[in-house]
Amino acid sequence: MTTSIQTAAPMEGARPFVSITISVNGKPMEIAAGTTVEGLLTLLNVKREYTAVAVNRDITPKSTYTAVTLSDGDKVEIVRPMGGG
Amino acid sequence: MYDTNLVLGGKEFTSRLIVGTGKYSSLDVMRDAHEASGTEIITVAVRRVSLPSGESILDYIDTKRFTLLPNTAGCYTADEAVRTCYLAREAGLGEMVKLEVIGDQRTLFPDVQGLLEATKTLARDGFIVMPYSNDDPVMARKLQDAGAACVMPLGAPIGSGLGIRNPYNIKIILESVTVPVIVDAGVGTASDAAIAMELGCDGVLMNTAIAGSRDAVAMAKAMKLAVEAGRLAYKAGRIGKKLYATASSPLEGLPDWTS
């Protein structure tokens, strides 16, 4: 017996759902292709204040969060201040 | 007594004590200790957010009152340290950075070669660079020439509490540079901070000595007083050291008790 997964037929002209795998703070994560940095932060519910993001070692300025689209294999680092001396 | 302010990259500070945010028993204790220390500058580390992101250390620091000083602790190369500073700036933590490039895991002694390289890069890019260095007067001058806003020689290894191990080198550093000299690391108790200030240092940076003490709030107050006392003693000008006694009371005018 086979199990068929019902998927909605993509709308005319719509992009079919494709997932990519990225690394977020060292952990692998599957997200939809086309996700932006802004989308990722929203997905993860990350506070924006005093937070910074780097993609593949390069700092992503806040002003470009909505413009930068993540690609398969990207390494994302999300940091903020912690206790230290 | 009139005193000048501590000037770092054009910013003026009244307090000469810089404190950290690590290793406190609770964030409430940390906030109270900051208050008791009278500090105006507080160091923070820059680390990966825990997901989901919970309570932030900045919920316990009034960023309108205190200047944040992100550090590059844990960085072993100039490249890592520079990138961390860019991240800190992008995160909105300002342009003043406590630059650490560590060269050895056990002692946490600085890699001065990497430190110098990172100082040059960051100073060129507009950062107010405060490098954590060894107590070498030659390196202090090189860091100053590279654009450092101050030099921060260690008194002893980070977190060791061994005090100012080489006061003579600190003294020579004070004569070698014109930028402020801030002793960073090694302070164990109040007298260590006072010694640094009595030598003529412009400030003291500490974390463990306060956060690791049994009563962090009381120790923070002790450090505030020690830094102030040491600074006053330095400005007042101590007496010279002599091997033999010099009487404090007049030698003349003693009554004659001979019979």
Predicted confidence (pLDDT) per residue in B215-241, tens digit? 999 999 999 999 999 999 999 999 999
Model pLDDT, residue B43: 97
Rounded to the nearest angstrom, the minimum Cα separation between A75 and chain B is: 13
pTM: 0.90
Q: What is the largest CA-CA distance in chain A?
A: 62
Model pLDDT, residue B55: 78
- What is the average pLDDT across B83-109? 96
Q: How far apart are CA B121 and CA B81, in angstroms?
A: 10
Model pLDDT, residue A42: 94
pLDDT at residue B26 is higher than 50: yes
Residue written as token pair 């470009």: A64
pLDDT at residue A10 is higher than 70: no
The two three-digit tokens of residue A12, written as one number: 């005319």
Backbone angles phi, psi at B120, to 5 degrees: -60, -50
Optimal mutation site among B87, B127, B182, interface A, most CBs of chain A within 10 A: B87
Interchain proximity A45–B57, CB inside 8 Å: no
CB-based contact (8 Å) between B39 and chain A? no
Q: Give the model's confidence band at B253: pLDDT under 50 very low, under 70 low, under 90 confident, else very high.
A: very high
Model pLDDT, residue A12: 57
B184 forms beta bridges with B205
B98 forms beta bridges with B71, B130
Optimal mutation site among B49, B66, B71, B83, interface A, most CBs of chain A within 10 A: B49
The two three-digit tokens of residue B132, written as one number: 């954590």
The alpha carbon torsion through B104, B210, B41, B118 (nearest 10 deg) reads: 0
Model pLDDT, residue B56: 85
B148 vs B251, more confident: B148
- Active-site annotation holds for B23: no
CB-based contact (8 Å) between A21 and chain B? no
Model pLDDT, residue B2: 75
Model pLDDT, residue A16: 63
Residues sharing a CB contact under 8 Å with residue B120, sequence separation 6 or more, in sequence order:
B146, B147
Mean of the per-residue pLDDT values of chain B? 96
Closest CA to B88 of B132, B37, B125: B125
Percent of chain B with pLDDT over 90: 95
Contact A81, B44 (CB under 8 A): yes
**Amino acid letter, B4:** T
Closest CA to B102 of B124, B127, B123, B81: B81
**Amino acid letter, B188:** G
Of residues B87, B93, B158, nearest to A54 (C-beta)? B87
Q: How far apart are CA A4 and CA B50, in angstroms?
A: 38
CB-based contact (8 Å) between A81 and chain B? yes
B232 forms beta bridges with none
Contact B23, B211 (CB under 8 A): yes
- What is the average pLDDT across B159-185? 97
Model pLDDT, residue A3: 46
* B17-19 and B41-48 strand pairing: parallel
pLDDT at residue A27 is higher than 60: yes
Q: pLDDT tens across A45-55, in order?
A: 998 889 999 99
Structure ipTM over 0.90, yes or no: no
pLDDT at residue A4 is higher than 50: no
CB-based contact (8 Å) between A63 and chain B? no
Ranking A64-68, B29-33, B55-59, B112-116 by mean pLDDT, the lowest is B55-59
Residue written as token pair 């290793």: B23
Detail the DSSP E strand segments found in B71-188.
96-99, 128-133, 152-153, 182-184
